[in-house]
Structure 1
Amino acid sequence: MDINNLKENVESWWSNVSEGWRQLRRSASGALTRFKPGDTTNLPESSSIDDELWLPGLSWSMLGVDLLEDDRRLVARLEIPGLDKDDFKIEVMDDALVVSGEKRFERDSSDGRWRTIQCAYGAFRRVVPLPAPVRADQAKASYRNGVLRVELPKVEPGPARSVTIDVQ
């Protein structure tokens, strides 16, 4: 293998890795959500935690969403485990679904020490852009098995919209 072949292979590999990271950033950037611990989050005292990497004020988690559009509605499914149905506030603001709430730390009855804390706790806010106008006053929500499902009827029923945008 000559040096030019090696150079082309490395450039191709680097291009693939770079594109993969760009795709991941585009895809996950909206799902990466900050959790801000507050007075009611009920986190354990720092003195009872041995996890050197735990920073209670820098808690992040992925709140993934699936968004379905059909002729009549939009349906959002958000993975938000560890809450009760009353822990959510759900709003439609402009052209976005806004889900906020607080995930509280649940204390264990044991007197042991926490070795690892990787779950996110605290108040959060997740904004999901909506591709079509909806009738927010007719929305329905349910929460089961850690998945929040929000059904939003469209203002104007019809097929999913596709818009082509010209580059200037």
Structure 2
Amino acid sequence: MDQEKEMAFLQQQQEKMASALQHVGDGAAPVVASAEVWEPAVDVVADEERLLICMDLPGVAQEQIQIRLNDDRLIIEGERRPRHEGLRLQRQECPGGPFHRCLFLPPGVTSEHLSARCNQGVLEIEIKGLTAEDQVQVDES
């Protein structure tokens, strides 16, 4: 069931990209559409006691972030709301709208191993029990 949701999500993104490409060169402004799903930058660091996932999310309130663990997949989703309501956008380099990242964890990680907090626009997810020897794979969509 979860794989079906992931496939449906990927198909939806592919359709959006194909639709956007149809309008390339038709005079449309070079603005990142806020309806598109974007992927925040992520760093994974570790020591002898824990693994730390750091994700850049400036402008995103902690309440707008959902973190869930599905088997060996850590899924992080949320939304960065527009910062300039009512103003005419001339250029946009900072992505907005919904975001999504998926990380593959070693087997055996449970929600009891996880803790998360936002610190100055950086989401920090600590996983106790994983070390520098453990591999975390970041999904590169």
The alignment's TM-score, normalised by the length of structure 2, stands at 0.62
Contact kept? 2:51, 2:127, Cα under 8 Å: yes
Aligned partner of 1:93 among 70, 76, 83: 70
Moved more, 60-69 or 118-127: 60-69
Q: Give the Cα–Cα distance (whole angstroms) in 1 for the partners of residues 131 and 89 of structure 2.
A: 53
Aligned partner of 1:130 among 74, 80, 105: 105
Is 1:141 aligned with 2:104?
no
1:153-164 to 2 correspondences below 5 Å: 153-154=128-129, 160-161=133-134
The alignment's TM-score, normalised by the length of structure 1, stands at 0.53
After the TM superposition, list the runs of 4 or more consecutive aligned residues in structure 1 that deviate by more than 6 angstroms.
none
Aligned twin of 2:84: 107
Q: Give the Cα–Cα distance (whole angstroms) in 1 for the partners of residues 117 and 59 of structure 2.
A: 15
Contact kept? 2:113, 2:128, Cα under 8 Å: yes
5+ long unaligned stretches in structure 2: 1-12, 14-27, 136-141
Aligned partner of residue 67 in structure 2, secondary structure: strand
Q: Give the Cα–Cα distance (whole angstroms) in 2 for the partners of residues 143 and 158 of structure 1.
A: 22
Letter in 1 for 2:133: A
Deviation of 1:131 after TM superposition, in Å, equals 3.9
Query: What's the CA shift string for 1:73-119, capped at 9, x where partnerless?
Result: 2211111111111110111222222110011102357xx53211222
Contact kept? 1:61, 1:119, Cα under 8 Å: no
Letter in 1 for 2:122: V
Q: Give the Cα–Cα distance (whole angstroms) in 2 for the partners of residues 79 and 104 of structure 1.
A: 15
5+ long unaligned stretches in structure 1: 1-33, 35-50, 163-168
Aligned partner of residue 137 in structure 1, secondary structure: helix
RMSD of aligned Cα (Å): 3.0
Counting matched residue pairs gives 110
Change over 3 Å in CA distance of 1:65–1:71 after alignment to 2: same
Q: Give the Cα–Cα distance (whole angstroms) in 2 for the partners of residues 108 and 123 of structure 1.
A: 17
Query: What's the CA shift string for 1:101-160, capped at 9, x where partnerless?
Result: 011102357xx5321122222122111222453231242111011110011122xx6771
Is 1:119 aligned with 2:100?
no
Change over 3 Å in CA distance of 1:132–1:123 after alignment to 2: same
